[in-house]
Copies of this chain bind each other. A is one copy, B any other.
Amino acid sequence: MAQLRSLLLPTIFCLGGLMGNYFDRYTQSKNIVAEKASLVTTTDNKCSLGDIPSSAKEIMKFGFPSCENLKFREDYVLSYNRVHRTANWVIEHLTADKVFQRDFKRKSSMFKEDTSVPVLFRSTKKDYRNSGFDRGHLAPAGDHGYSLKALKDTFYLSNMSPQVGVGFNRDIWKRLEEYTRNQTRVYTDIYVITGPLYLPKESAEKDGKRYVKYQVIGKNDVSVPTHFFKIIVGDNRKKKSNAQLQLQVFQMPNEKISKGTPLDEYKTSLKSVEKASGLLFLDKASSLAIATDRSAI
């Protein structure tokens, strides 16, 4: 009954909108419209969502960085950017149980278009073909081998960004992903936020001007990020109730990086990634609980 009541009013609110919405243009999927609505709050936006799967509630424990085009998958949550045709951010919840139980191999999965994205804004396999870039997972396949569904869900192209292959995706970025998984040996729960950045730099003409410049690939102009970020929150409060959340923030250029370069060279501040991404992270994490780390960043 309580559940019914909690759905009634948002449904009424939505109805007016739905009735006026005659177009379903450029999209092949109506699934989202049929969803029941519920609300979540971000730092200063309120997002209206479909029913959130219970797994997502755990994944999104520390808040939504933004509300734009949310996709709830088996074991991650993603916000899709329709201009860039790749994600704004992807959030995962990792535990040792999950990440080291690799019953399913990535060979059992195939890259696939995300049909929940309108065709006009969707990236395709063809966009990546002969581009010179890897289809780089944001939520890595290697985090979700415990479940065939979870693994397969990481292969949506909405979870890919064009990444430099040799020297980045297949090397240092892979090392960062392995490092992240290994943090589940240190913390009972790991929350990971991953996403692309498009950073400005000084102009080559040294005239003091700054430009953002990035390549786009394929017919759908999929953006090639200049950098990627990964935010790792280590949570040991299940072990020790007063444990502080531990925060590690990485930002790496999407380019060939010399073998053996320490990951630590790419540590940065949360604020720097927030400024560059336009996102505010971890708004539901108590400022007290992560004070030690935040003060340093």
Residues in A lying within 8 Å of B, measured CB to CB: 5-6, 8-10, 12-14, 16-18, 20-27, 32-33, 37-49, 63, 66-69, 81-84, 116, 118, 120-121, 198, 200, 209-217, 221, 223, 271, 274-280, 282-288
Contact = CB atoms under 8 A, between A and B. Distances in A.
Contact of A214 (B8, B27, B212, B279): B212
5 contacts: A6-B13, A13-B38, A44-B116, A47-B67, A67-B67
Nearest to A38: B13
Given A68-B66, A283-B21, A46 B14 contact: yes
Copies in the assembly, this chain: 2
A143 B69 CA distance: 32
A210 B198 CA distance: 15
Question: Considering the complex of A and B, which 10 residue pairs feature the smallest CB-CB distances, nearest first?
Answer: A17-B41, A82-B278, A83-B278, A46-B48, A13-B39, A9-B9, A20-B284, A48-B48, A213-B213, A32-B44
Contacts of A214: 211-212
B40 A17 contact: yes
Counting chain B CB atoms within 10 Å of each CB, the highest count among A16, A279, A283 belongs to: A283
Contacts of A213: 211-213
Given A39-B48, A40-B17, A46-B14, A26 B274 contact: yes
A190 B286 CA distance: 47
Contacts of A40: 17
Contacts of A212: 212-214, 216, 223
B37 A44 contact: no
B67 A43 contact: no
A209 B280 CA distance: 33
Contact of A46 (B5, B37, B121, B217): B37
A44 B33 contact: yes
Contacts of A275: 120-121, 221
B221 A274 contact: no
A210 B215 contact: yes
B118 A63 contact: no
A215 B223 contact: no
Contacts of A38: 13
B20 A63 contact: yes
A21 B45 CA distance: 12
Nearest to A117: B44
A198 B216 CA distance: 12
B44 A120 contact: no
Nearest to A41: B17
A69 B65 CA distance: 12
Contacts of A21: 41, 43, 63, 283-284
Contacts of A211: 213-216
